[in-house]
Amino acid sequence: MKILANDGIAPIGKQQLEAAGFTVVTETVPQNELIQTINNENYVALLVRSATTVRKDLIDACPDLKLIGRGGVGMDNIDVAYAKEKGLHVINTPASSSQSVAEMVMAHLFGAVRFLYDANRTMPVNGATEFKTLKKKYAKGVELRGKTLGIIGFGRIGQATASYALGCGMNVIYTDPFAEKATVNVTVGGQKIAIELTSSSKEEVLAKADFVSLHVPKLNQPAIGIEEFAIMKDGVIIVNAARGGVVDEDALITNLNSGKVAHAALDVFENEPTPREDLLKHPKISLTPHIGAATLEAQDRIGEELASQIKALLL
């Protein structure tokens, strides 16, 4: 049986599938050629990440396809319900990338409060001639310890982010209608400490948080828009490592320009892979190209989890 990993798969996942008798192809097929390729090559499984979409037209046009796999958490690029209606297996790897995304959020937070995102742009250009000026400019950073992180969405990634933040001495509040109470394990010196947290209203979290981190799927409307920004503290910092469209980008720029939002950190964008230029060039935004889950460790876990599920379902 042949599997097309159109957005790639970690070598360990490919090895495990091939050891089980599958043929795994990792060459990327353009979206407009995908249907023809799947049918001509008799692929029974299609593995994607965020680059490839799997919509009704592909599902209808590929009757021999048995499984669609998403290497990662979010599945908004797949018509999941329709695929299941048609009898296809649809799988993802929700547990594999939580730590990696959480560390990305914390990296953005540390970079924001100490102006690393800006200093790393400016120092190579002006560091030799304006060192004292830049030293003064970047000497107004703050510490994360003692500040409040508000988390919107408290699934695996939200909880992993909370664990890191608590370990840094931050206060953590969250809102999630599906997780009224949660236990977050914080590892300190090799020992696990269980912290009990209770969900608050979205409005309360937004009003109290010094930092806001988004960990929700993309829905019909942004989770953070004009009304939500109005509730936040002046000088709030916001991080979106969830999905493009979770934050209203127009409202974000308006609030950055007004000073209501001191800084934004974005790993995801509405118009991927061509984000809008005013976001990319805004002086108060730090940027990464949707790499929250892209660590070597996470890719190995994703590959292994995909391989395990595929073997269980197709053999």
Segments making up each domain of the chain, as ranges: 2-94+296-314, 98-287
For 278-306, what is each residue's pLDDT tens digit? 999 999 999 999 999 999 999 999 999 99
Mean predicted lDDT score pLDDT of the chain: 96
For 206-235, what is each residue's pLDDT tens digit? 999 999 999 999 888 999 999 999 999 999
49 labelled catalytic: no
State the sign of the Cα–Cα–Cα–Cα dihedral 115, 116, 117, 121. positive
**Structure token digits, residue 85:** 């209606």
Q: Among 70, 243, 282, 301, which one carries the catalytic annotation?
A: 243
Q: Is the pLDDT of residue 73 over 90?
A: no
41 labelled catalytic: no
Higher pLDDT, 43 or 95: 43
Q: Among 290, 301, 304, 305, which one carries the catalytic annotation?
A: 290
- Nearby residues of 50 by Cβ (< 8 Å), 6 or more positions away: 7, 72, 74, 77, 272, 290
Q: How far apart are CA 203 and CA 197, in angstroms?
A: 17
CB 261 within 8 A of CB 284: yes
Q: Is the pLDDT of residue 249 over 90?
A: yes
Superfamily of chain region 98-287: NAD(P)-binding Rossmann-like Domain (3.40.50.720)
**Burial, 23: exposed, middle or buried (Cβ in 10 Å; 0-12, 13-18, 19+)?**
middle
Residue 74 confidence (pLDDT): 83
CB 206 within 8 A of CB 226: no
Please tell me the pTM assigned to this model: 0.90
The percent of residues above 90 in pLDDT, for the chain, comes to: 94
Residue 80 confidence (pLDDT): 97
Section 197-205 average pLDDT: 98
Residue 182 confidence (pLDDT): 97
2-94+296-314 against 98-287: fold identical: yes
290 labelled catalytic: yes
Q: How far apart are CA 215 and CA 277, in angstroms?
A: 24
**Burial, 52: exposed, middle or buried (Cβ in 10 Å; 0-12, 13-18, 19+)?**
buried
For 107-134, what is each residue's pLDDT tens digit? 999 999 999 999 999 999 999 999 999 9
For 131-155, what is each residue's pLDDT tens digit? 999 999 999 999 999 999 999 999 9
Confidence of residue 50 (pLDDT cuts 50, 70, 90): confident
Confidence of residue 190 (pLDDT cuts 50, 70, 90): confident
Q: Which CATH number fits domain 2-94+296-314: 3.90.550.10, 3.40.50.11930, 3.40.50.300, 3.40.50.720?
A: 3.40.50.720
